[in-house]
Structure 1
Amino acid sequence: MSVDLDRTRPIWRQIAAVIVARIEDGTYPAGSRVPSVVEISTEFDVAASTAQKVLGYLKREGLVRTEVGLGSFVEPKP
């Protein structure tokens, strides 16, 4: 899936919004793995540090949990 990013706004926020939308629409259901740093970097053609910022944001917002060595997974809605 190709996503056009507006280079005049913070890229990481736009990517985070795309992933949040995918969580909300069920593309990534509760308990499923979300893309890794490498997968986000590749899909959106961004640096790994940008992808890491996206995952950090999703974790801080309580949308995903990270399991070392396994990846990041969508948290169930409360």
Structure 2
Amino acid sequence: MDLDRTRPLWRQIAAEMISRIQDGTYPPGSRVPSTLELAEEFDVVNATAAKAMRHLREEGWTRGEVGLGPVPG
């Protein structure tokens, strides 16, 4: 996915992750990429990926699970 560098990158990453959760790429209970994996995939700094992941948690799209990391909520 190519990001539009004129819009907030974290919002675009969060929107892509929501889309993937909705289309079943990441079904409930499965593991979603880590912050580091997202940063690498989208070619952004870790802080940008972390902000996207924090937004997903705050909006109820993911939750943390010990030993698994973030999973769709």
Give the TM-score normalised by structure 1: 0.88
Tell me the secondary structure at the aligned position of residue 14 of structure 1.
helix
* 2:54 equivalent in structure 1: 56
Give the TM-score normalised by structure 2: 0.94
RMSD: 1.0
Q: Any idea what the Cα deviations from partners look like across 1:14-37, whole Å, max 9, x if unmatched?
A: 010000000000000011111001
Structure 2 unaligned segments of length 5 or more: list them: none
Q: Any idea what the Cα deviations from partners look like across 1:16-69, whole Å, max 9, x if unmatched?
A: 000000000000001111100110010000000001101100000001101355
Structure 1 unaligned segments of length 5 or more: list them: none
* 2:72 equivalent in structure 1: 74
Q: For this pair of structures, how many residues does the alignment match?
A: 73
